[in-house]
Structure 1
Amino acid sequence: MFRHALTVSGVVACTVTTLLACTASVPAGATTSATSGVQLQTWLYPGSTGDSQCTAPSEYADGRVKDGALNPEYWTVGDDGSVTLETTADGLCNTYSAANVADLKAHSANQYPTLSGMTTTAVHALVKSKSTRTAAVTKVTSLVNDAGLSGVDVDLEDYWSWSTADFTNYKTFLGQLATALHASGKRLQVDAPAMTEDASFYDYASVVATGVDDLVIMAYDEEFDTASGDRCLPISPYDWLKNVTTYAQSKVTDPDHLIIGLPSYGYSAPDPCDLNSVTGNIQFSAMRQSPGFSSDPATIESRRDASSGEIRWTSGGVLYDYVDSVAMDRKLAVLKGLGVTKVSVWSLGGGNPWFSN
């Protein structure tokens, strides 16, 4: 599942010169209390046997979200609007089976399997009619109820290509799903694009008004907003992260309904940036194989970007960027300074870093 969080430009409020104040003076070293006071959850996604994302269960087995939530991708939306259940019987890890459900429950307080639709064609087909919406709601809620899961995470993307009718029908679908889930005491989470001002293609407040319990803002992939000819931006710069969060808080004023997503992955791109040639969602296990990668602490710190905390270097005309534990801690400190109490991380698998504690 590829993530591209589009942003609408806004006014930068937290500058690099005030970084320490914005990040609550998080030290360069590890901290044992980075996640205190924050409810955590994380996504995991399917892979074939041997793929690096299949290490996710061994990662969450350390109890990192034992009081939080795990969100595996269980369903995909086809171009005809049909919903397919992905299962371990298909040879895919992190997908549905009785054993998978039991393992999720053993290592988390809540489980919100994801319904994933990554194209406008799929989203349009799913939400356009009552019959396709009802079929999807029935299939999803039946499994959640039968398996005793906490609810559903809806990840329907390609927002910027939606028509007004698509967005209207999308909200109708969310309202129908919320009603069905709430009838059984289940919850609805919805993944939303990162924005810093009002836009025609998406509106946070009206989405929450459909009955959504948690709006999850995917505050990453800012590199895709790089101006032509410039070096690619970091995945989630502090200034931008603050602006995305404060805008979301202005539209969703109850903090219990708002979750901010943070990145744990990397990307590579030509330098200067070519947005058509960005390789995103690189797991740490693959990033370690990149030309010029270094595990030397002094080298890592020399490459740490002041605007994002991310590790960035160039080799052979290619820029490499990844988020380590220090960068995650510092981004989390920005959110805690803004009063955020719920955070989701994309993603587990491939040894992607976690918070320092």
Structure 2
Amino acid sequence: MRNRTWVWVLVAVVVAAGLWAALAGDRGPTAKPGSDRSNDNLQLPAKQAPRAKVPGQLFILGFYDETEEARGEDILATLRRYRDHIEYLSPFWYSVRADGSVVDRSDRDLRDFAARENIKLMPLFNNYQGTDAFLTDAAARRRAVDNIVQLVRRHGYGGVQIDFQLLKPQSRQELTTFVRELRQALPEDKAITVSVIPHRHQEDATQHSKDAYSYKGLAQYARLVLMAYDRHGEMTRPGPVAPLDWVGEVIAAAREDGVPADKIWLGIPAYGYDWAEGAERAVPVSLREVRTLARRHDIRVQRDDDGIPHFTYVDERGVRHTVWYEDEVSVARKVRLARRHDLYGVAIWRLGYEDAPYWRMLLRETGRTGMDMTPDRNRQRESENQDPEGDASDVQEGHPGNVPDGG
């Protein structure tokens, strides 16, 4: 670059690029109104290679939906407190359209927070309005892959989370092709996970789309998140969200389909449903909300043989409700199943639903209790003991009976 001619060429290129940017603006397929990409590029997180899995331990992935009420300082405090135990944070940020363009709802503040706290981001990409058109059109599929790779490189993400639902069974091969092409295009150190609907029976309308997922095919290029929840859900009769036997069947089905254990994240719930008599659908309730509800109505919580809590109550209008949910007792048995099968990790659906007792269980059951990874362990213990949501002991329980650990 010492030659003066090259200097003038460089100046010309820079000026031309500036003029083009000023005229073109931000018209890329991933653009969002009011975004300033030049600012987004100021601070890229350092390259973060995946950590090796320690025998007997499970990694933790946390889903994060900023559009719901649980967003805010409480979640940021949780992330800061447990940052060294969260392998990936997966915020709901991107949607792939039918033409392969990407709707960008990312939050720069959260990106900056994650960079400061050294939390690896694995943003979630869903299929916009349930479309699968970009999967079946080779050009649109290529465009989607290119846009995703561009976002990963620009923001230094640790990987991507693919959550395509309401797919037709005919899209099965195209989905696998998409993930293969994405794997080939991404740097080797960038992880890919794909959320899949369990092949075992679910009592809701998603059952028809379960055949869109080739477990074995997808596992060649990505890890799978088994969405082992919503056995009973919004559109079903009352019942447990994740019965232990059913979760065991979901894991077994994936293994029988040829998915290696270290390619499986087990999805675990931190929520439940409130079924009101006469209502068309149940209402999702977080673990925090359930605890508050039970205390307000002075309810004695019962547990089934799997340790899953449930109760009934009558509201101010005289309507009878049935509530089933998952807490640290019932989920502990599912995490033990994951360890027994030597799975890769557990994926919390979702951050903001859980509370401090749930986290204490999670660290214990994933084999991370004794890990001195947080700079100030005494401060962490103190903050955990000051649980604003109340401990599980605040809720009255009936005798759970002989609760199995699963197997």
Which residue does the alignment assign to 1:117?
A: 127
Amino acid at match of 1:205: K
Alignment of 1:45-194 (within 5 A): 45-47=65-67, 51-54=69-72, 55-63=74-82, 66=85, 68-78=87-97, 82-87=101-106, 96-97=107-108, 99-107=109-117, 110-117=120-127, 119-120=129-130, 122=131, 124-159=132-167, 162-164=168-170, 166-181=171-186, 183=187, 185-194=189-198
Q: Measure, in 2, the Cα distance between the counterparts of 1:338 and 1:256.
A: 9
Is 1:189–1:215's contact at 8 Å kept on the other side of the alignment?
yes
**Residues 118 and 242 from structure 1, CA distance in 2 versus in 1: closer, same or farther, beyond 3 angstroms?**
farther
The 3-state SS of whatever aligns with 1:53 is coil
Which residue does the alignment assign to 1:32?
A: none
Larger radius of gyration: 2
Q: Does 1:41 align with 2:61?
A: yes
- Shift of residue 348 of structure 1? 0.5
**Residues 223 and 355 from structure 1, CA distance in 2 versus in 1: closer, same or farther, beyond 3 angstroms?**
farther
CA deviations over 1:145-198 (Å, ceiling 9, x no partner) = 122211100000124xx141x2222222111111111x3531211111112389
Which residue does the alignment assign to 2:346?
A: 343
- Shift of residue 320 of structure 1? 1.3
Task: Please give the TM-score of this superposition, normalised by the length of structure 2.
Answer: 0.64
1:223 to 213, 221, 232: 232
Is 1:39–1:343's contact at 8 Å kept on the other side of the alignment?
yes
Which residue does the alignment assign to 2:321?
A: 318
CA deviations over 1:285-315 (Å, ceiling 9, x no partner) = 443554xx2289x955x42232352344343
**Residues 111 and 208 from structure 1, CA distance in 2 versus in 1: closer, same or farther, beyond 3 angstroms?**
same
Amino acid at match of 1:247: A
Is 1:237–1:308's contact at 8 Å kept on the other side of the alignment?
no
Is 1:194–1:218's contact at 8 Å kept on the other side of the alignment?
yes
Amino acid at match of 1:44: Y
1:277 to 272, 275, 281: 281
Q: Measure, in 1, the Cα distance between the counterparts of 2:128 and 2:310.
A: 28
User: RMSD across aligned C-alpha pairs, in angstroms?
Assistant: 3.1
Q: Does 1:232 align with 2:251?
A: no
Q: Measure, in 1, the Cα distance between the counterparts of 2:83 and 2:173.
A: 37
The 3-state SS of whatever aligns with 2:183 is helix
The 3-state SS of whatever aligns with 1:348 is coil
The 3-state SS of whatever aligns with 2:81 is coil
The 3-state SS of whatever aligns with 2:256 is helix
The 3-state SS of whatever aligns with 1:110 is coil
Task: Please give the TM-score of this superposition, normalised by the length of structure 1.
Answer: 0.72
The 3-state SS of whatever aligns with 2:126 is strand
Q: Measure, in 2, the Cα distance between the counterparts of 1:107 and 1:305.
A: 40
The 3-state SS of whatever aligns with 1:52 is coil
The 3-state SS of whatever aligns with 2:305 is coil
The 3-state SS of whatever aligns with 2:229 is coil
Amino acid at match of 2:121: Q
State the number of aligned residues. 294
- Shift of residue 222 of structure 1? 0.4
Q: Does 1:354 align with 2:363?
A: no
Alignment of 1:198-209 (within 5 A): 200-209=211-220
Amino acid at match of 2:245: D
Gaps of 5+ in 1: 1-34, 88-95
Amino acid at match of 1:349: G
Q: Measure, in 2, the Cα distance between the counterparts of 1:139 and 1:111.
A: 17
Is 1:41–1:65's contact at 8 Å kept on the other side of the alignment?
no
Amino acid at match of 1:141: V
The 3-state SS of whatever aligns with 1:343 is strand
Q: Measure, in 2, the Cα distance between the counterparts of 1:217 and 1:158.
A: 16
The 3-state SS of whatever aligns with 2:238 is coil
1:242 to 238, 248, 265: 248
**Residues 167 and 180 from structure 1, CA distance in 2 versus in 1: closer, same or farther, beyond 3 angstroms?**
same
- Shift of residue 102 of structure 1? 3.2
Is 2:163–2:195's contact at 8 Å kept on the other side of the alignment?
yes
Which residue does the alignment assign to 2:35?
A: none
Which residue does the alignment assign to 1:91?
A: none
The 3-state SS of whatever aligns with 2:85 is coil
Which residue does the alignment assign to 2:375?
A: none
Gaps of 5+ in 2: 1-54, 202-206, 364-407
Q: Does 1:306 align with 2:281?
A: no
- Shift of residue 107 of structure 1? 4.1
Which residue does the alignment assign to 2:262?
A: 256
- Shift of residue 205 of structure 1? 0.6
Q: Measure, in 2, the Cα distance between the counterparts of 1:232 and 1:303.
A: 14
- Shift of residue 131 of structure 1? 2.4
**Residues 335 and 251 from structure 1, CA distance in 2 versus in 1: closer, same or farther, beyond 3 angstroms?**
same
Alignment of 1:22-41 (within 5 A): 37-41=57-61
